[in-house]
Every structure is written in structure tokens, then in C-alpha cells.
Amino acid sequence: MSERALYLQAAESLRRNPGQWAAYDSHGHCVVLAGPGSGKTKTLTVKLARLLAEDVQEPRGVACITYNNECARELESRLAALGIEPGGRVFIGTVHSFSLTQIVLPYAKVAGLGLPDEFSVATQSERARALERAYRSVIDGPDNPQTWDFRMGNYRRAILNRNSPQWRERDPVLAALVEAFEDELRAMGRIDFDDMPLLALRALRANEWLQRALLAKYPVLVVDEYQDLGRALHRMVLGLCFSAGMRLFAVGDPDQSIYGFNGARPDLLQQLSRRDDVETVHLRLNYRCGSRIVTGSRYALGEDRDYEAAEGANEGTIHFHPRTGNRDQQADDLFSSLLPDIRERLPDLRLSDIAILYPSAPIGDAVASAAQNYGLQTIRTDKNSLYPRSSRLMRWLEQCAEWCCGGWRTGTPRFRTLMNDGQRIFSESLTAEGDVLLFQRRLLKTLWERRDSTVLLHWWLNEMRREAIAELIEGCRTLQDEGETLGAFIDRAAPDGDCAEMTLGQFAGRSEGKNCISLSTLHSAKGREFVVVIMFGMNDGTIPWHNQSNQRLVEWRRLFYVGFTRAKQELHMMYAANMPSPFVKEVEERLNADG
């Protein structure tokens, strides 16, 4: 079936939903306000396919900016199912990746950004050294310099115009620290992730020809999860779309904005949706959650919304589990009592259909320990996971491991997928004629000779690095930090490390969480869905923290709401009986009042 036939067939299923069809059929600037489970990713990918087939003439293309690598990977997978491979006419990536690869790397010199020749992206250890030197020169106090990193980052993202009086007047010490830190990075020949959108915005503001160059390449800009992307992206959108002439298609939900600590501004999406030159579409139907969960989600948010469960949705259930004892005892009770009850009630339930969500990673430690005591495999997506789940390199290695553990026989994943993903990850190193073919040959040889799920992971990772990817990592300015992540994990898998007994098969099982219960913070669960969700540690003082401002309380509410709306069929709240979260109490009281 042709690409055109595939997307047209997919589009037919959107006709039954007026909001989805209106978004698909939009012609000018369009903002889609999409509630949880409303099919926004499907709508977005089918719209992308239509744009490429009908609205954008080759060789021009479409740029799609996402919040994180997980979102980008999901969109790439959905587009591939419609016969569209990323690359060429389609850019899909984070705002940092867009800024770096489409603006900073190709145009740094001619745009007058003043960056060192052959600059690269700083690793975490290099950033730490630069901050320590900057702190000593500007403040030289008794603090650990790294405790200033968070405040410094907020200041960099909050005031985008360094020439404005506000930059120096709001906090002169922070302004001086930021400038010293960036000077230290430049002296090392480095930029960092916060630099990327800031430098890109600076280049666009100062060079109208650069705006025209981007317009020539990408007449359409698509933005997913707009509410999470902050001021720099918003300023880019205003300039590129409402001055330079790009067409905008943006999707988001202010109610799911939970990254205020990283500069997310849900009000920017709301401002955009109210513009007279923007068509605003609402997606109301929830295809994910059972009807009772949809009802309860209104109480979880603390504001009424007109969302409703899609026709034919299951009823869904919400259960409340007050518990005595400390956190470890409650985690033990989860696996000794609650989970067996759920699995008896839902005998076809797979472990990968279950998620346990909690407010912070230390709470997850208790859950992970209890799961291990009961012999249950888990996969963590919080900061205490074995390695960052956002790492493109590590996720690709998981897929390679899965291929070695039987995927070569079943076609899951396909070797072509591994090659394509690898080419995108190592694109900076694969520039000369024949580089791609050599990479493909090395990768196939390395994987084919190591198809054994029982080998120790330490050996396999070392072989992969040495035979297939070490030179490629070295040649990629954007992969140095991920190379350090890989090296640190190889050390953990060494004979004297805490993962010494991990086999290739166990590593491969992490690739899609096969036969594993997902353990995640509420923040990291965003965008995901599960048949059963257990929200653990829903205590007063934990969610929300005590003594919060009104603005922070609203964001705590949204975080609770995000966790609440991950569940398809069953939602379970676990909390200390003597101090339930006020959010939990309100949901239970209002559901009881409904009967």
C-alpha cells in the first residue's frame, strides 16, 4: 500500500471525532488543545503525513519539535507505520536538537554567535568543572557550587534578552555567575543544553536571512507538548510563524503542564490559542480511561472540564487503599496483598500492563526493593534507574540486544530499524561517502556474532563499543555525555559492579519493559498509559509538599491529574491512613457524593 493510501486510510478513522477531523482538515495556523487520552498523537502523525503529501512540495519538508526523546521516538514509530521515515524532508526532535542541528551547527559562524571553532556539547562532568570555576571567581562562598546550578538555569531561561536592564537588575549575582559559567564553557570549546535554544533564538533575532533560510527548508513547523517547552521556543514560534511566514500546527494541554521548575509556561499555549489568526481545536473525547476514571479526573484536577469517555469505553474503577506502617511496610503490602488481588481479578493482565507511580525517586526505592523481594522484574524511569531512559544511545543498545536475543529470527525489531535509528544517532560521524554502508556492515557483523541471551552484559557492551560504535561516539559532538553514560554503566556491569550478574537477555527485556512492572515518578509517567495504575505514597506533605505558593499548588494538582489519567481500567490510590493527600480526599469525597 502506498504512503498516500496509508495516511488516507488512517484519516478516515478521524472523521468520527469532530475535533480530530477539524485538526486534520485545518489549513492555516492551528492550535490543538488535547486532553488526556484524546488521540492527539494519532491526530498529529496523520496530520504530518497529510502535510508532507499534500501541502509541502519536495524537496521542502516539515519540522516537528517535541518535548523529549521519548516523544520523538513515539512519533517516529507512528510515522514509520504510515510509510514515512524520519530524515530527509522530516525533522523530528527536541527543541534542543532542532536548535543545535538546524541553526547553531550549520550557521554559528555566519550568524555571529562567537562560538569556538569545532565546539561540542559539554558532558555533565565538564559542566560541573565550569560551574565550579565560575562560582569561585564570582562568589567564592562556602556553598557547594553545584547547588547554584538549578537557580542559574532558571535565570538563563527566564530572561532571554541579555541586553535588557532586567538581565542585570533582577539578580546581579546570578547574572554575573551565568556569564562567567558560559565564558568557562567557551574556553573549553563547549556549549551546554541550555545554550542551544538560547543561541538559536539569538541567531534568529539578529539575522532575518536565517529566518528565510529555515522557511525555505521547512514551510511548516509542528510543535508537540507546547505547554512544556518554555519561553525560548515560544519566541522562536512567534518569529518564525507570525513574522517569517512558517505555518504552525501546535498540540498541547495546559492542564498537563508539570515542568514549571524547568521553565514550562502553560499560559504561553493559552495565549497562542486566543490569537485571532489561529484556529483553535479542542479534543474532548478520552479514548484511554474508563468513564469513572474520566469523572474522577475532573475532581483530581480541581477544575471542571467538558471531557468525556469515548463511546464504548469501559466503566473503569478507582480504589482507595489507606495503609498503616512505614513506607517499606506499605510497599511490601502492595506486592503481598494488593497486586495478587489485581492479578486474580484480571488473569490476562501482563506485568507490563501495570505501572506503580510515586511522587519522587526515593519513594520508588522502597517499591523497587519490595518488588525484588517478591521476585518481580521491574523497569524504572526515574533518576534512580540504571541509566537515563532519555538516552538515545542506551535505548538503541537495548533494541540491539533484543535483536541478538531472538529478534533476528522474529523480525522484532527489524534490522533495518536498528540501522535507521543508528544512522540518526551517529549522523555527525556518518558524513563521508561509504560511511553508512561501513556502519551497516560493522553493526550486522557485530550483532550476528553475539546472538546469545545468556552471555554477561559486560562482555557484550564492551564488544559493541569496541567493534561498532566507539569511533562514531567520538566523532559526534552531541554524544559525549551519552558516551560517558554508557561507560559508567559498563563499569556497573563489570565483575565488581552492582550489575555484574546481568545477562544480555535481562538487558534486552528492558527495551520495551517486556514482562516488567513499570516504576515511575509521576513526572516521568507523562504521555504513557497502562491498564492498571497504582499511585503509591499519595500522602499529605508528599503530594503536595507543605507550605506551597498558590502557583505551586496548581502545578501539584496538575501532576496528580497526570498520574490519575494514565489508567485505562483500574486506578489504585495507596496512602498512609493518618495523612492522605488532600487531593485524594477530595476525589474520594466527591465520587462518594456522586454515588
pLDDT in tens, 147-193: 999 999 999 999 999 999 999 999 999 999 999 999 999 999 999 99
pLDDT computed for residue 67 by the predictor: 87
pLDDT computed for residue 261 by the predictor: 86
Tell me whether residue 257 is annotated as binding.
Answer: no
Across the beta sheet with 567-576, the strand order is 317-323, 567-576, 530-535, 354-358, 517-521, 378-380
pLDDT band with cut points at 50, 70 and 90 for residue 1: low
- The topology under which CATH files domain 291-383+515-594 is Rossmann fold (3.40.50)
pLDDT mean over 218-244: 95
pLDDT computed for residue 86 by the predictor: 65
pLDDT computed for residue 388 by the predictor: 84
Strand partners, 34: 283
pLDDT computed for residue 592 by the predictor: 94
**Is the pLDDT confidence value at 512 over 60?**
no
Which cell goes with 270? 493559552
Tell me whether residue 35 is annotated as binding.
Answer: yes
pLDDT mean over 405-410: 94
**Is the pLDDT confidence value at 513 over 60?**
no
pLDDT computed for residue 46 by the predictor: 96
**Is the pLDDT confidence value at 510 over 70?**
no
pTM of the model: 0.91
* Residue bearing the bigger pLDDT, 105 or 86: 105
Q: Return mean pLDDT, the chain.
A: 93
Tell me whether residue 38 is annotated as binding.
Answer: yes
pLDDT digits (tens, 9 = 90+) for 324-371: 999 999 999 999 999 999 999 999 999 999 999 999 999 999 999 999
pLDDT mean over 516-536: 95
Query: Residue 458: which residues within 8 A CB-CB, separation 6 or more?
Result: 490, 493, 494, 495, 497, 500, 502
* Residue bearing the bigger pLDDT, 58 or 513: 58
pLDDT computed for residue 478 by the predictor: 86
Tell me whether residue 39 is annotated as binding.
Answer: yes
**Is the pLDDT confidence value at 292 over 70?**
yes
**Is the pLDDT confidence value at 499 over 70?**
yes
**Residue 288 DSSP code:** S
pLDDT computed for residue 514 by the predictor: 63
**Is the pLDDT confidence value at 69 over 90?**
no
CA distance 138 to 135: 5
Domain at 3-105+199-283, CATH homologous superfamily: P-loop containing nucleotide triphosphate hydrolases (3.40.50.300)
Tell me whether residue 41 is annotated as binding.
Answer: yes
Least Cα distance to 68 among 108, 40, 97 occurs for 97
Cis amide bond preceding 544, omega within 30: yes
Least Cα distance to 394 among 290, 307, 481 occurs for 481
pLDDT computed for residue 415 by the predictor: 94
Least Cα distance to 532 among 363, 319, 308, 370 occurs for 319
pLDDT computed for residue 87 by the predictor: 65
pLDDT digits (tens, 9 = 90+) for 16-38: 999 999 999 999 999 999 999 99
pLDDT mean over 284-309: 95
Q: Which residues of 526-548 are buried (b: 16+ CB within 10 A; e: fewer)?
A: bbbbbbbbbbbbbbbebbbeeee
**Is the pLDDT confidence value at 471 over 60?**
yes
